[in-house]
């Protein structure tokens, strides 16, 4: 019996799915792959990053607003989406850092935070999972926690003795980390903009990256330039988080497509044979699952 390929992307907050791997998901949706976004928290403690949305009525019900934004984004991307139901931890700032708020996602015990994700894995039965590296991509406590629960769920979902009562066991075959803001990509975009005579927003970013080794190498580059516009539309759906005049849209799409037409990943776990580098998240899986 043939079955469709299935991809699960696990993210910390609404908007993360649109800023990391969105064009990849849109490409696979167009190819007939079933895609599910799992959002761990509601983003209730997120700041309003778009001045046009910095209004009292938005602040008063930010959780509801972000839920509505997520609904628009998932429609644009053509994906399914589910919430794990945990509370945003916020991003602590200051010296010394303040404690995280009681009851937030980052403070949940690992088994408590992982159980609903194992349930989602066993229900959706993904062949491939996407998540963040052990530093969360950046050190937001919810992103780090998302990494932890994703790895735990990948390892546990196929074991019938773990997380009983969450459905029939299912073992995903590959786990990837997003490699969205690599130095090589930022250098390429920065260079393309400067050659075109366009002011680049990446200079200071690249300076801050100097002397900081990237912990993971890129193993997999997914060609998805045709879906960059879809990605941007999904980003703009998260109006509280994305300033349309901000750095996300500083580099014109034609330059992006020419300078860096892929979204990039690190293969962290694989239970199938595959040759690196890859250009397909389902490399080694397509041979086992007939579309």
100-111 tens-digit pLDDT: 999 999 999 999
Q: How confident is the model at residue 290 (pLDDT cuts 50, 70, 90)?
A: low
The per-residue pLDDT for 95 is 82
pLDDT of res. 132:
97
Burial annotation 70-107 (CB, 10 A radius, 16+ → b, else e): beebbebbebebbbbebbbbbbeeeeeeeebeeebbbb
**232 assigned binding-site residue:** no
Lowest mean pLDDT among 206-220, 256-270, 272-286: 206-220
| Percent of the chain with pLDDT strictly greater than 70 | 99
Residue 8: closest CA among 170, 163, 143:
170
> Once rounded to an integer, what is the mean pLDDT over residues 75-102?
94
* φ/ψ (deg, to 5) at 115: -55, -50
140 appears as a binding residue in the annotation: no
Q: Would you say 143 is a known binding-site residue?
A: yes
Asked whether the predicted pLDDT for residue 208 surpasses 90, the reply is: no
pLDDT digits (tens, 9 = 90+) for 22-45: 999 999 999 999 999 999 999 999
| Separate counts of helices (H) and strands (E) for the chain | 10, 7
For the segment 185-211, the average pLDDT, to the nearest whole number, is 92
Are β-strands 6-11 and 34-41 bridged in parallel, bridged antiparallel, or unpaired?
A: parallel
Domains in the chain, CATH or no CATH each: 6-181+218-250+262-270 (3.40.50.10320)
Q: What is the pTM of this model?
A: 0.96
Q: What is the pLDDT of residues 65-75, one digit of tens each?
A: 999 999 999 99
Confidence of residue 173 (pLDDT cuts 50, 70, 90): very high
From the list 218, 280, 235, 278, the residue with the least C-alpha distance to 31 is 280
Structure tokens at 169: 């066991």
């Amino acid at each position: 019996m043939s079955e469709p390929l299935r991809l699960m992307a696990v993210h910390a907050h609404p908007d993360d799915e649109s800023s990391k791997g969105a064009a990849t998901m849109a490409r696979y949706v167009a190819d007939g792959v079933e895609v599910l976004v799992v959002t761990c928290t509601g983003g209730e403690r997120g700041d309003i990053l778009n001045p046009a949305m910095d209004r009292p009525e938005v602040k008063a019900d930010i959780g509801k607003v972000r839920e509505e934004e997520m609904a628009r984004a998932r429609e644009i991307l053509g994906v399914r989406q589910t919430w794990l139901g945990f509370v945003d931890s916020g991003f602590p700032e200051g010296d010394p850092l303040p404690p995280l708020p009681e009851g937030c996602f980052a403070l949940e015990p690992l088994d408590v935070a992982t159980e609903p994700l194992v349930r989602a894995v066993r229900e959706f039965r993904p062949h491939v999972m996407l998540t963040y590296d052990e530093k969360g991509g950046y050190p937001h406590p919810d992103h780090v926690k998302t990494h932890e629960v994703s790895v735990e769920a990948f390892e546990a979902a196929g074991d019938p003795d773990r997380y009983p009562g969450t459905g029939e066991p299912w073992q995903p075959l590959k786990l990837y980390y997003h490699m969205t803001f690599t130095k090589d990509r930022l250098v390429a975009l920065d260079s393309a903009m400067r050659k075109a005579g366009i002011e680049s927003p990446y200079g200071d970013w690249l300076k801050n990256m100097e002397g900081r080794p990237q912990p993971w190498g890129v193993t997999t580059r997914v060609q998805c330039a045709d879906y960059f516009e879809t990605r941007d539309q999904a980003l703009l759906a998260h109006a509280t988080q994305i300033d349309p005049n901000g750095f996300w849209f500083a580099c014109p799409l034609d330059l992006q497509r020419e300078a860096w037409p892929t979204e990039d990943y690190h293969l962290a776990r694989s239970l199938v044979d595959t040759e690196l580098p890859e250009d397909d998240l389902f490399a080694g899986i397509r041979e086992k699952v007939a579309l």
